[in-house]
Structure 1
Amino acid sequence: MKYAVDKKEQFVLFTLLEEKLDSTLSPQLKSELLTVHAEGYKNLILDMARVKYADSSGLSALLVGNRAFGEEGGVFVLSSLQEHVLKLMRISMLDKVFKVVEDNEAAAEAVFIHEIEQGAEKDEEE
């Protein structure tokens, strides 16, 4: 599986450099997402600009990432989805589960907003 990882202070930008997210790649993607999470990063942006096709196993890998990063108050953001992948998300109603944004700039903004909201919630609890 080809991908690029750019570790920032607030998040990891994980760019998938594949055209298909299917049963051949999904186990590797799950593993890589869980590895990044285990390294202590709370927030991840998955840039899917090059992904033209995804199947149910690909969506399953995304759900694993979403759950892992969401468990500890982090956020998992999907960025730059191609039309076919976005349609599949809508049909399966996963667009209600995932944080989906137009591009990486909007994704970074979503992470910062999430961090602010998390900070506000912690302040209210204290």
Structure 2
Amino acid sequence: MKYTVDKKEQYVVFTPMEEKLDSALSPKLKSELLTVHAEGYNNLIIDMSQVKYADSSGLSALLVGNREFSRNGGIFIIAAPQEHVMKLIKISMLDKVFNIVDTLEEAAEAIFIHEIDGTEEEEEED
């Protein structure tokens, strides 16, 4: 599986450089997402702008990422999904589960807001 990883201070941008996220690639995607999480990053943006097609196993890999990154108060954001992928997400009713935005800029903003909200909650608990 070809992909790029761009590590920022607050988050990682993971970009699959594949046209299809199917059963052939989804195990690799799952393991790469888990690896990034294991490196200590809590927030991940997956840039789906290159992906033209996903099947149920591709969505399953995204769900694993979403669960892992959300587990410890982090956030998992799908950025720039193409039309076919977005249709599948909606048909599966996962648009209610995933954080989905149109651009990487919106995703970065969402992480910034998420981090601020998390900091405020911690202060309230003290």
Same fold (TM over 0.5): yes
- Once the two structures are superposed, residues 81-124 of structure 1 have per-residue CA deviations (whole angstroms, 9 ceiling, x without a partner) of 00010011111110110000001000000100100111111111
5+ residue gaps, structure 1, are: none
TM superposition shift of 1:125: 1.0
- Aligned residue pair count: 126
Question: For 1:122, what is the secondary structure of its paired residue?
Answer: helix
Match of 2:18 in 1: 18
Q: Which runs of 4+ in 1 moved over 2 A?
A: none
The alignment's TM-score, normalised by the length of structure 2, stands at 0.99
Question: For 1:41, what is the secondary structure of its paired residue?
Answer: coil
Q: Which amino acid aligns with 2:111?
A: V
Question: For 2:14, what is the secondary structure of its paired residue?
Answer: strand
Match of 1:122 in 2: 122
Match of 1:76 in 2: 76
1:38 matches 2:52: no
5+ residue gaps, structure 2, are: none
Where does 1:35-74 land on structure 2 (aligned, <5 Å)? 35-74=35-74
Deviates more, 1:116-125 or 1:62-71: 116-125
Q: Which amino acid aligns with 2:124?
A: E
Match of 1:95 in 2: 95
2: distance between equivalents of 1:114 and 1:21?
A: 28
- Root-mean-square deviation (CA), in Å? 0.5
Q: Which amino acid aligns with 2:89?
A: M
